[in-house]
């Protein structure tokens, strides 16, 4: 059972392979994503994050859910030597963490409902579990940043997360929080495979902000692999990356 709906300003696809899945199960997941959008959207005037940025609520008055996201954001800032920071120009934008975190939490909801084989994608960030409808590894494509209709690599994954950071689709929405200068345009795409999509997404965002040395940062994270494409089309990848490009 598979559906795609537009939420959080992006297409979100949920596919549940298990025979017991119903439309109601998909509805629950999309209701969850809608709630996340209502709370964390920086475009909605009534969202909690907008209310915080407008000074209508204080930092010590935020909901437990927003407090969790802010705590995770600070932990990520510390883990990335400051290359991930949701605070800028006096405001807070946790978008770089919320998407991957929300996908991960949605996957946890499916697991608590007893599902073991599923796929969730939101805006190119993906969580997979188990096997696909043909009882094979899930296939995840890495897009060519110079022609997004082309796939440059196909990954074969099971229980893991895949996230790609880059400015080639949404424009310059990722910045280096340690500098007022624009990001080095040399790196155009960085894909990270991690134990789950939350981990992959937050570290992909930080590593992309690091520029050319971002792939080395990923290489030094236990349990993570990465694939980086530069402006000339040259790819650099971590030592264990190629095991995900072979069907087993």
Integer distance in angstroms from the first to the last C-alpha of the chain?
25
Task: Give bridge partners of residue 165 from the DSSP assignment.
Answer: 190
Q: How far apart are CA 234 and CA 245, in angstroms?
A: 17
For residue 218, with 0-12 CB atoms within 10 Å meaning exposed, 13-18 middle and 19 or more buried, which class applies? Answer: buried
The residue to which tokens 């084989």 are assigned: 117
At 90 the pLDDT is 86
Hey, where are the domains in the chain? 2-245
For residue 205, with 0-12 CB atoms within 10 Å meaning exposed, 13-18 middle and 19 or more buried, which class applies? Answer: buried
Tell me the torsion sign for CA atoms 196, 197, 202, 203: positive
Cβ-based neighbour number of residue 123 at 10 Å:
18
The tens place of each residue's pLDDT in the chain, 248 residues long, gives: 999 999 999 999 999 999 999 999 999 999 999 999 999 999 999 999 999 999 999 999 999 999 999 999 999 999 999 999 999 888 999 999 999 999 999 999 999 999 999 999 999 999 999 999 999 999 999 999 999 999 999 999 999 999 999 876 554 556 677 676 667 788 999 999 999 999 999 999 999 999 999 999 999 999 999 999 999 999 999 999 999 998 75
Report the residue count for the chain: 248
Cβ-contact 199, 159 below 8 angstroms: no
At 236 the pLDDT is 98
Q: How far apart are CA 85 and CA 92, in angstroms?
A: 9
Residue 155 parent element (H or E): strand 147-157
Q: How far apart are CA 76 and CA 57, in angstroms?
A: 24
Cβ-contact 12, 121 below 8 angstroms: yes
At 237 the pLDDT is 98
At 168 the pLDDT is 60
Residues whose CB falls within 8 Å of the CB of residue 146, separated by 6 or more in sequence, listed in order: 168, 188, 233
- CATH class of the domain comprising 2-245: alpha beta
Quote the pTM value.
0.94
The residue to which tokens 């400051």 are assigned: 82
At 233 the pLDDT is 95
Q: How far is CA 176 from CA 54, 58, 201, 210, in A?
A: 24, 26, 16, 7
């Amino acid at each position: 059972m598979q559906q795609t709906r537009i939420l959080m300003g992006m297409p979100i696809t949920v596919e549940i392979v298990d025979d017991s899945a119903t439309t109601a199960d998909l509805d629950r997941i999309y209701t969850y994503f809608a709630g996340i959008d209502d709370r964390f959207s920086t475009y909605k005037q009534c969202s909690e994050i907008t209310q915080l940025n407008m000074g209508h609520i204080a930092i010590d008055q935020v909901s437990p859910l927003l407090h969790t996201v802010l705590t995770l954001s600070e932990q990520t800032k510390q883990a990335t030597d400051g290359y991930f920071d949701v605070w800028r120009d006096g405001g807070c934008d946790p978008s770089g963490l919320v998407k991957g975190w929300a996908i991960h939490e949605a996957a946890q909801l499916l697991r608590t409902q007893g599902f073991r084989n599923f796929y969730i994608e939101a805006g190119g960030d993906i969580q997979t579990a188990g096997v696909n409808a043909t009882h094979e590894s899930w296939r995840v494509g890495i897009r060519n940043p110079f022609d997004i209709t082309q796939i440059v690599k196909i990954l074969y994954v099971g229980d893991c997360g895949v996230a790609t950071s880059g400015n080639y689709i949404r424009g310059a929405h990722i910045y280096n929080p340690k500098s007022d200068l624009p990001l080095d345009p040399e790196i155009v795409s960085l894909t990270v495979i991690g134990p789950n999509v939350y981990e992959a997404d937050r570290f992909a965002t930080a590593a992309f902000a690091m520029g050319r040395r971002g792939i080395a940062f990923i290489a030094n994270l236990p349990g993570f692999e990465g694939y980086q494409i530069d402006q000339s089309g040259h790819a650099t990848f971590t030592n264990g990356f190629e095991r995900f490009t072979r069907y087993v």
